[in-house]
A = this chain, B = another copy of it.
């Protein structure tokens, strides 16, 4: 009775994520251990690993595994290097291998312990043992089907900082969140601990994510009040065994707003002392507190420039407050000109401003400051070229900031697997120094100091965590790429789909193909050929390329596409804003010429006449129309393909996904129709022969309003 619950009790609502541990087919059960041996002194982290193994083996074998103190045949044995037992045949080889694996790496090897064949998970730390356990469980569930006795793994992360950024507000709303409220129930914390916090920790640990910024970068002074620190500490207590440190986003003007200082000038000793005391206070309740994330002098947030100090002055002051505790400061580089500056600029281009402000500061930051760079230079658009700051600050460790939540890619409605997008950026070859130097290389220390990676979370209180089942794949993919920037996005998609749905090839192949095509589909029906920032104002839902009346010029879609009778696109060559000059000479040359610019970035770098002839032989206008239509066709194809998956997916997750894909198709058509209606209007061009007319008038598309859209 205890082990068997009626089916209705466990509808497949996605809550289990990729940690479903479904029963293994009989043929795959050979050598899957039915016992667990954890060596050395016990610890909360070892407890977490053991309990995950218990849960997983129970699920996969249908029977609770034994916790043993002596290895049996096939026992899974967890041991730190220092705790490797005397009777292990490969002990000295394992110790050698561990030397290369650092603090978080792990090793999984088949070995003999006192003559009995076992599976060994070894690491230098408890966290490594936890990661190794998860890696081994993942491998067991993959269709590669090596057989449990043939799994051999060795891995360690490239980056020490693999962080989620929650844009979660204190009222539990989530900026750009499409999955319900914040999972952090601030009101009930610290008194009431939602068991979900533990499942959150499990999911992240399964990927190797080792840090989480609990609150929105648009922060509030109350975050550093005693009541909130106690709430953060309660979360930290839950996450600690899973190797996850807690960080806070802080508001620059906190001490001033709390009326505890008379200024927020970073060079004022009273201000520095306040932050030092505050850091001490935090570390008293959260001894392994990670540090601060700061959005300063950006989009209206206060910052050191309010006192004529620069970003380094600000970051260093905070860095010195947390340094005695080994804390860090993650300082965001997402800044653009103030309204006054933007008016003064001759060929104003928001894309160049982060680079211009930060590059001169290279070398001026304290050792425990990392500069966090949003990709791309505009704002997480469906496609942007890699940010030119990567590689341009060799003396400063940089953090790559990706957005996992789909602010610009269809919220939680559209299926868009972001793996190819993140991979495209990480693999981008900067050619700095005239040789291959990818963006990934620039944060991995190959050019200087080791950086980190941050993902703006798509996690909320919705039962499926991410608002839809397929959005879970973006969390998964982010975590896997954070661990290893060399992983292929298709491999990750396969891993995810096999664990989330089934390793059955009849599902796996089509689903992975669908995922791999999905982001390009979104680019095509939203922002083809390098267009960007043409979405609805404020909520960012749906098409609105016509918007021209926002407070700042560089918030308006028309600023970005610059479409008129004579052409379309933003000239970022030397004749325009010269943004190309921020790249290495080799890359700059390529982007400076429309003929050598990849078509998918064409209108990002160039303003071209409508009749510009593309490599395809089509005019630019014809190509644009073709891309929009292709995007819609892809949305339709995904909808149809998913219908064929019905036999292989449980009813609830099938239906939920089917409904979203149907709506995605509708919205893809809307994007295409509204965009073409508008571009036809400004260009005065007829649609190419045979092309379907927009379903409604341009005025109709302009009139649509979404007063209660989520995530604002």
Binding site for B on A (CB under 8 A): 1-11, 13, 16, 21, 23, 55, 58-59, 62, 170-172, 178, 180-181, 186-188, 191-193, 195-196, 222, 412-413, 461-463, 652, 655-656, 659-660, 662-663, 666, 707-710
Complex Cα spacing A171 to B62, Å: 43
Instruction: Report 30 cross-chain contacts, Cβ distance below 8 Å, ordered by A residue.
Output: A2-B7, A3-B4, A3-B6, A3-B7, A4-B4, A5-B7, A5-B10, A6-B55, A7-B58, A9-B9, A9-B10, A9-B59, A13-B195, A171-B710, A178-B187, A180-B181, A180-B461, A181-B181, A181-B461, A186-B708, A187-B710, A188-B412, A188-B413, A191-B663, A191-B666, A192-B660, A195-B652, A461-B461, A461-B462, A463-B463
Best-buried of A4, A11, A461, A708 by chain B (most CB within 10 Å): A708
Complex Cα spacing A659 to B185, Å: 14
- Check A187–B708 contact: CB distance below 8 A: yes
- Check A58–B1 contact: CB distance below 8 A: no
Complex Cα spacing A704 to B354, Å: 41
Give the Cβ gap from A464 to chain B, nearest Cβ, in Å.
10
Give the Cβ gap from A583 to chain B, nearest Cβ, in Å.
39
- Check A8–B187 contact: CB distance below 8 A: no
Best-buried of A3, A5, A413 by chain B (most CB within 10 Å): A5
Contact for A16 among B9, B178, B655, CB less than 8 A:
B9
Given A5-B10, A191-B659, A196-B463, 6 new contacts (CB under 8 A): A6-B55, A8-B55, A170-B707, A172-B710, A180-B461, A193-B659
What residues on B are CB-neighbors of A2 within 8 Å? Answer: 7
Give the Cβ gap from A384 to chain B, nearest Cβ, in Å.
27
- Check A171–B6 contact: CB distance below 8 A: no
What residues on B are CB-neighbors of A6 within 8 Å? Answer: 3, 21, 55, 58-59, 62
- Check B708–A192 contact: CB distance below 8 A: no
Give the Cβ gap from A141 to chain B, nearest Cβ, in Å.
14
- Check B13–A9 contact: CB distance below 8 A: no
- Check A222–B188 contact: CB distance below 8 A: no
Contact for A659 among B8, B11, B192, B461, CB less than 8 A:
B192
> Closest 6 A-B residue pairs measured CB to CB?
A9-B10, A191-B663, A170-B708, A10-B10, A5-B10, A6-B59
What residues on B are CB-neighbors of A13 within 8 Å? Answer: 195
- Check B708–A222 contact: CB distance below 8 A: yes
What residues on B are CB-neighbors of A196 within 8 Å? Answer: 463
What residues on B are CB-neighbors of A188 within 8 Å? Answer: 412-413
What residues on B are CB-neighbors of A9 within 8 Å? Answer: 5, 9-10, 16, 59
What residues on B are CB-neighbors of A709 within 8 Å? Answer: 187
Complex Cα spacing A545 to B708, Å: 36
Complex Cα spacing A463 to B462, Å: 9
What residues on B are CB-neighbors of A663 within 8 Å? Answer: 191-192
What residues on B are CB-neighbors of A462 within 8 Å? Answer: 461
Contact for A191 among B7, B16, B463, B662, CB less than 8 A:
B662
Complex Cα spacing A3 to B62, Å: 12
What residues on B are CB-neighbors of A172 within 8 Å? Answer: 708, 710
Complex Cα spacing A532 to B59, Å: 54
What residues on B are CB-neighbors of A7 within 8 Å? Answer: 2-3, 5, 58
Complex Cα spacing A247 to B180, Å: 25
Give the Cβ gap from A215 to chain B, nearest Cβ, in Å.
11
Residue of B nearest to A228 (CB): B708
What residues on B are CB-neighbors of A666 within 8 Å? Answer: 191
What residues on B are CB-neighbors of A655 within 8 Å? Answer: 195
What residues on B are CB-neighbors of A21 within 8 Å? Answer: 6
Give the Cβ gap from A651 to chain B, nearest Cβ, in Å.
9
Complex Cα spacing A5 to B7, Å: 7
What residues on B are CB-neighbors of A192 within 8 Å? Answer: 413, 656, 659-660, 663
Residue of B nearest to A6 (CB): B59
What residues on B are CB-neighbors of A62 within 8 Å? Answer: 4, 6
Give the Cβ gap from A193 to chain B, nearest Cβ, in Å.
7
Contact for A195 among B11, B187, B413, B461, CB less than 8 A:
B11
Give the Cβ gap from A167 to chain B, nearest Cβ, in Å.
16
- Check B10–A23 contact: CB distance below 8 A: no
What residues on B are CB-neighbors of A652 within 8 Å? Answer: 195
- Check A8–B59 contact: CB distance below 8 A: yes
Complex Cα spacing A397 to B16, Å: 50
Give the Cβ gap from A13 to chain B, nearest Cβ, in Å.
7
Give the Cβ gap from A196 to chain B, nearest Cβ, in Å.
8
Give the Cβ gap from A137 to chain B, nearest Cβ, in Å.
14
Complex Cα spacing A7 to B6, Å: 10
Residue of B nearest to A59 (CB): B6
Complex Cα spacing A710 to B660, Å: 30
Residue of B nearest to A656 (CB): B192
Residue of B nearest to A181 (CB): B181
What residues on B are CB-neighbors of A16 within 8 Å? Answer: 9
What residues on B are CB-neighbors of A5 within 8 Å? Answer: 4-5, 7, 9-10
Complex Cα spacing A171 to B187, Å: 19
Complex Cα spacing A275 to B242, Å: 58
Contact for A58 among B8, B58, B170, CB less than 8 A:
B8
Complex Cα spacing A181 to B709, Å: 14
Best-buried of A3, A187, A193 by chain B (most CB within 10 Å): A187
Contacts A59-B8, A170-B707, A710-B172 known; A23 to B1 CB distance under 8 Å?
yes
What residues on B are CB-neighbors of A222 within 8 Å? Answer: 707-708
Give the Cβ gap from A122 to chain B, nearest Cβ, in Å.
27
Complex Cα spacing A610 to B192, Å: 39
What residues on B are CB-neighbors of A181 within 8 Å? Answer: 180-181, 461
Residue of B nearest to A651 (CB): B195
Residue of B nearest to A707 (CB): B222
Residue of B nearest to A192 (CB): B659
What residues on B are CB-neighbors of A55 within 8 Å? Answer: 6, 8
What residues on B are CB-neighbors of A186 within 8 Å? Answer: 708
Residue of B nearest to A191 (CB): B663
Complex Cα spacing A21 to B1, Å: 13
What residues on B are CB-neighbors of A180 within 8 Å? Answer: 180-181, 461
What residues on B are CB-neighbors of A710 within 8 Å? Answer: 171-172, 187
